[in-house]
Structure 1
Amino acid sequence: MRAVPVPEGADVAVAVLDAESGESASYGDGRFDTASIVKVDILATLLLRAQDEGRRLTATEEAYATAMIEHSDNDAASKLWRAIGRAEGLDAANERFGLTRTEGGEGTLWGLTRTTAVDQLTLLRQVFGPGSELDGVSRRYLSGLMGRVVRGQRWGVSAAGDGSGWALKNGWLPREATGLWVVNSIGRVTVGGRGCLVAALSKGNPTWAAGIALVEGAAVAAVSLFGVEDAAG
């Protein structure tokens, strides 16, 4: 993978899957706070619970899900966090999804869920399939919301694509104790008709903008492993 400039004191991890070949690669095995990328996991958990109960989401649940994913609404996320049983519910679903190093945040602190880039790639495989615990209707619903995030949040892994098809969720969190930023991005990008799943996580960034630049650089470098390095220019 091509070198990515990392700000002093910052850390980054990235994982990528080429959907065409099934090949995957990763860099960095540290654990990171999720910030708002956990909202994908929250909704995946809710959808799995609904499947188990033999039902689809209610109109209220769908309203919260739309606000949570498309607008990154935190109040909606808190409501659905409670609906899934908080960390206990998330962790139980993640065991079924195959996430082995992700742990739900304590109490109401869903944004402090801890995860790895490889686990987030595993989650993306559940969202985009095949071989998912989620059925086709659930996968299309969740990935569809990720393809409609508001314009101001279309940064991150999308930098590694050609703009012809993407679906993503970003997360960012300034840490009060240090003033440093957690900035993460996960999703699917398309390059010349070829799909890639990408998860880029970072922490210790001096600014929000520096974090965005870091995860975008990591995503571009990761996708370049599959011979599509001119994806983002």
Structure 2
Amino acid sequence: MFFLATVLDPIGRVRGVLREAAVESVAVAVCGVGAGQSFVYGDGAYETASIVKVDILAALLLRAEDAGRRLTARERAYAAAMIGHSDNDSASALWRSIGGADGLDAANERFGLRDTVGGAGALWGLTRTTAADQLLLLRQVFGGDSRLGEASRTYLQGLMGRIAAGQDWGVSAAADGSAWALKNGWLPRGTTGLWVVNSIGRVTAGGHDCLVAALSNGSATKERGIALVEAAARQAVSAFRGSASPRD
């Protein structure tokens, strides 16, 4: 088990990124791959946009393990396109395969996610989650104490390490070079014209393997949202590195 601690400084410096546009909101969380302390800034719920695709695939892999089978060739093709290229049609196909929101919620109950609720109907991108829950999901993917078997974890980790060029922003900003695996999400809300921009994944920085979730909404542009989550990720990882032992 691990505990969540709200850290006002230096993670609180993320507030400085928000000064120019008070409508924006951000939450960020970071922890080690193993057991230990975790930092969380912001406890609100956010629309996932495409970061839910990691959760969809984790739920599919869990169902396959329960049935004692491997993913089919078609499922693997959908999964590769959904994670690597953020293909929405593939996500919709696998969303149906897991039983939509009901299937996602059932898997998340087993994963320990208590504040994530699947989007209604076909609207998987409007699933709502918290930064703390995304850390729990990342632990299922990258940690050893997981409901998923080793083969499933290795498979999902590999896909998150092969993100298409142009989609490799986000928490990777906090990594040393190419030592990252991630999934990003971005969505303009039709009612406001403002953007949801999120990033989750694993980064290696200064000898630390960190799991990071940065969620945001209210940005005027996608680019502004990217800058926001990248700044939040860098601050969170900096704070974690200042308090943790290497490879925590």
Matched, 1:73 2:97: no
1:163 to 174, 177, 180: 177
Shift of the alpha carbon at 1:101?
0.3
- Which residue is 1:59 aligned to? 73
Shift of the alpha carbon at 1:164?
4.0
- Which residue is 2:3 aligned to? none
1:182 to 196, 219, 238: 196
TM-aligned CA distance change 1:228 to 1:159, over 3 Å: farther
- Which residue is 1:154 aligned to? 168
In 2: Cα distance, 1:190 partner to 1:106 partner? 36
- Which residue is 2:60 aligned to? 46
Structure 2's unaligned 5+ residue stretches are 1-9, 244-248
In 2: Cα distance, 1:216 partner to 1:192 partner? 17
TM-aligned CA distance change 1:155 to 1:228, over 3 Å: farther
* Per-residue deviation, residues 26-60 of structure 1 (Å, max 9, x unmatched): 01000000000000000000000000000110000
What does 1:131-142 correspond to in 2, within 5 Å? Answer: 131-142=145-156
- CA RMSD, 1 decimal: 1.3
Preserved contact between residue 20 and residue 194 of structure 1 (Cα < 8 Å): no
- One-letter amino acid matched to 2:116: T
Q: TM-score, normalised by structure 1?
A: 0.96
Other structure's SS at 1:226 match = helix
In 2: Cα distance, 1:164 partner to 1:184 partner? 19
Shift of the alpha carbon at 1:188?
0.2
Q: TM-score, normalised by structure 2?
A: 0.90
2:49 to 32, 35, 41: 35
Preserved contact between residue 160 and residue 189 of structure 1 (Cα < 8 Å): yes
Shift of the alpha carbon at 1:228?
5.9
- Which residue is 1:125 aligned to? 139
Shift of the alpha carbon at 1:20?
6.1
- Which residue is 2:7 aligned to? none
The aligned length equals: 229
TM-aligned CA distance change 1:214 to 1:130, over 3 Å: same
Shift of the alpha carbon at 1:23?
1.8
1:16 to 9, 30, 45: 30
* Per-residue deviation, residues 78-97 of structure 1 (Å, max 9, x unmatched): 00000000000000000000
